[in-house]
Amino acid sequence: MASIWKGALAFGLVNIPVELQPAVRSAETLSFRQLDKKHHKPIKLERVSTVDGKTVPWADIVKGYEITKGKFIVVDDDDFASAAVAMSRVLEMTDFVPADSIDPRYFDSPYFLVPQKGGEKAYVLLRDALAETNKVGIGTFALRQKQHLAAVKPMGDALVLELMRFEEELVDPGELHFPSATEAKVRPQEREMAIQLI
C-alpha cells in the first residue's frame, strides 16, 4: 500500500521518521451513470450560463467565492498560491492530553503511523509512554495542501494518527433541543425496565 505522507513525528527534541498509511478501507459501492433512456448511452452534462442559457467553453470558466447572495469574487491561481499552507514534513505534537478527555466528534479519519528506518526505537518509546500514561499527542501538520489537527495514540504495537475536526466545525448542542426526563414524563419504573433491557 502506498504511503499518503512521509515526514517526521516530533515532540521535544525527539524526531521520528514516519509515513502515513490508511487504517481503513472503503467499502465496495455501486456506481451508476445517467443514461439516455432510448439509447442506453451516457448523457453529457453541459456548462450553461445562468444569464443567457448558452454553453460556456472551459477556457471561459473561472472559480468564484460567493460573498453575499448572488455576489461573487473571482479567485485565481495566484490567490490560491498566496493562501497555500507551508508544506512542513513535521507533525509537531504540542500537547499531551488524557485519552478519554477528547469529545469523539472531533475525530475524523484514522491512519497508521509506520516508523521508517532508524526511527524504530524512538517510535516504541513514544508508543509505550503514551500507552502507560493513557495520553494522546495533539499537533498540526500539512497534508494535501491543507493544515490538519491530529491526534496520535497507541493501538497495540502501532501508533494511530487520527485527523481531527477543529472546534468551529462542531455543532454546539445548545443550538438544539433535547428533552429532559421530566419533560418526557419518564417514570422510575420505565427507567428501571430500560436499564434491565440494556
Torsion of CA 132, 133, 136, 141, to 10 degrees: -80
The pLDDT score that the predictor gives to residue 86 is: 67
User: Which of 166, 160, 120, 116 is CA-nearest to residue 140?
Assistant: 166
The pLDDT score that the predictor gives to residue 12 is: 84
pTM of the model: 0.70
User: Which of 171, 160, 164, 173 is CA-nearest to residue 106?
Assistant: 164
Question: Is the pLDDT confidence value at 84 over 70?
Answer: no
Query: Helix and strand tally (H, E) in the chain?
Result: 3, 9
The pLDDT score that the predictor gives to residue 77 is: 84
84-109 burial, b for 16+ CB within 10 Å, e for fewer?
eeeeeeebebeebeeeeebeeebeee
Q: Find the DSSP H helices in the chain.
A: 77-83, 120-133, 188-197
The pLDDT score that the predictor gives to residue 145 is: 78
pLDDT digits (tens, 9 = 90+) for 99-112: 999 999 999 999 99
Q: How far apart are the first and last CA of the chain?
A: 41
**pLDDT > 70 fraction of the chain, expressed in percent and rounded:** 97
AA letter at 34: Q
Q: For residue 21, with 0-12 CB atoms within 10 Å meaning exposed, 13-18 middle and 19 or more buried, which class applies?
A: middle
Q: How far is CA 161 from CA 112, 150, 171, 194, in A?
A: 6, 6, 23, 37
Q: Which residues contact 176 (CB under 8 A, 6 or more apart)?
A: none
User: Which of 84, 100, 109, 103 is CA-nearest to residue 160?
Assistant: 109
Task: Find the range with the poorest average confidence among 53-62, 76-85, 123-132, 176-185.
Answer: 76-85
pLDDT digits (tens, 9 = 90+) for 54-81: 889 888 898 988 999 989 988 888 887 7
Mean pLDDT (whole number) for 154-166: 96
- The mean of the pLDDT values for the chain is 90
AA letter at 89: R
pLDDT digits (tens, 9 = 90+) for 4-38: 899 999 988 889 999 999 898 877 777 888 888 88
The pLDDT score that the predictor gives to residue 87 is: 67
The pLDDT score that the predictor gives to residue 6 is: 92
| HSE, side-chain direction, 13 A CA sphere, residue 79 | 8
